[in-house]
Amino acid sequence: MLKRNAIILSAALSAVLAYPLVAQDTGATTEPETEPKVEMIDVTGDTVIATVNGDDITMAHVVAARTSLPEQFQSLPDDVLLPGIVEQLIQQAVLGQAMGELSHRAEIRLENQRRELAANDKVEEVISSAVTDDALQAAYDAQYANAEPTKEFSASHILVEAEDKAKELIVELEGGADFAELAKTHSTGPSGPNGGELGWFGPGMMVKPFEDAVMAMEDGAVSAPVQTQFGWHIIKLNESRMKGAPALEDVRDELAVQIESDAVETALKALLDAATIDRIALEGIDPAALRDMTLLDQ
């Protein structure tokens, strides 16, 4: 469906974009006449933009069409999109009128689209009132009120395949070699080009042998070779700190997403519990039927 709409819109945009070029290629040598001033229209959703064999295309139709444009058209400027979308809707109108009644396949798809649109409207209704200051504070308190400060670490490492190689690099470090430069030259890990820096991490974020080694180190220390499933690590603990609960403002967006998700889940459960739903056993259906497009015509 999206592919066919893209084809129609591409054709409509091509016609719109080509029109000024055709108009200019007249061979005229005189200065163009001053264009008359266009009076701006006070547009509403009911403003009729075009009528095709008696069927009105309103500004609301145009706005709705823009929201469902394929991604490659979304970045086009509005002064290009507006006439392009209008032409697309006109072309769709004449094509649809030529078809007459919807096919059974189209009716099935339309039923699914109606369900999807109605469901999306309900979700928007639910979440529109879910995120309040009180809800945010309650979610924050539930997640962080009793949070204990945790220790975080900033470390760098050099990852090599063999223990002997790790020991050789430790000798170079003891002789004054720069840790970051050795990491850039020898580390096989993705952090190597960045001097081995791993950034800040907390408990549970690294594999256990690595984490155990870091927790036993002092700031600024370099470890003996540490083996994990990835190879042999030389670890430098750059810095450590205690981190408490974040400020509410720092996690507001994260909490809002969770509140919305919980609200939708609660509303959906209530609706499902109240609904009368009859199902057949899916075990009796060949899963390959999912790809049988002929079923749309029956």
Residue 51 has pLDDT above 90, yes or no: yes
**Structure tokens given for 191:** 């952090």
Coil, strand, or helix at residue 222? strand
Residue 41 per-residue DSSP state: P
State the pLDDT confidence band at 30, using cuts at 50, 70 and 90.
low
The neighbouring-strand residues paired with 232 are 160, 227
Residue 291 lies in a domain: yes
Confidence bin at 13 (pLDDT 50/70/90) = low
For residue range 66-80, what is the model confidence (pLDDT) as tens digits?
988 888 888 888 888
| Residue of 137 and 40 predicted with greater confidence | 137
Residues 137 and 221 in one domain: no
Considering only 15-29, 93-107, 243-257, which range has the smallest mean pLDDT? 15-29
Is 256 inside a domain boundary? yes
Residue 208 belongs to some domain of the structure = yes
Is the residue at 20 inside a domain?
Answer: yes
**Residue 59 sits in the same domain as residue 133:** no
Is the pLDDT at 28 greater than 60? The verdict is no
Q: Average of pLDDT values for 79-97?
A: 91
Q: Does some domain include residue 115?
A: yes
* Structural domain count, the chain: 3
Q: Choose the final residue of a domain: 243, 260, 279.
A: 243
- In the predicted model, is pLDDT for residue 23 greater than 50? no
**Are both 254 and 143 inside the same structural domain?**
yes
In this structure, the answer to whether residues 165 and 224 fall within a common structural domain is: yes
Residues 53 and 196 in one domain: no
Alpha-carbon distance 14 to 76, whole Å?
Answer: 13
Burial bucket for residue 117 (CB in 10 Å: 0-12, 13-18, 19+): exposed
pLDDT above 60: residue 32: no
Radius of gyration over every alpha carbon of the chain, rounded to an integer in angstroms: 32
- pLDDT tens figures, 182-235: 999 999 999 999 999 999 999 999 999 999 999 999 999 999 999 999 999 999
Whether residues 139 and 159 fall in one domain: no
- Is it the case that residue 250 has pLDDT exceeding 70? yes
Q: What is the mean pLDDT of the chain?
A: 88
Distance CA 15, CA 87 (A): 9
Residue 248, pLDDT above cutoff 70: yes
Q: What is the band of 35 on the pLDDT scale with cuts at 50, 70, 90?
A: low
User: Mind listing the pLDDT tens digit for each residue in 98-121?
Assistant: 888 888 898 998 999 899 999 999
Q: Is the pLDDT of residue 174 over 90?
A: yes
Its domain, for residue 169, covers 150-243
Q: Do residue 189 and residue 268 come from a single domain?
A: no
* Same structural domain, 140 and 272: yes
Task: Please state, for a pLDDT cut of 70, what percent of the chain lies above it.
Answer: 88
Would residue 31 count as lying in a domain? Answer: no
- Higher local confidence (pLDDT), 148 or 272: 272
E strand spans, the chain: 48-52, 55-58, 150-160, 197-201, 226-228, 231-243
In a domain, 279, yes or no: yes
pLDDT for residue 138:
95
Most confident of 174-183, 245-254, 281-290: 174-183
pLDDT band at 39 (very low <50, low <70, confident <90, very high): confident
Is the same domain home to 194 and 276?
Answer: no
- Look at residue 32 and tell me if it is in a domain: no
Using one digit for the tens of pLDDT, what is the confidence trace for 122-136?
A: 999 999 999 999 999
Do 142 and 158 sit in the same domain of this protein? no
The last residue of one of the domains, among 221, 243, 265, is 243
Q: Same domain, yes or no, for 183 and 70?
A: no
Directed axis angle between helix 179-186 and helix 163-174, to 10°? 150
CATH number at 198 reads 3.10.50.40
Question: Do 259 and 233 reside in the same domain of the chain?
Answer: no
Question: Domain ends where: 243, 260, 286?
Answer: 243
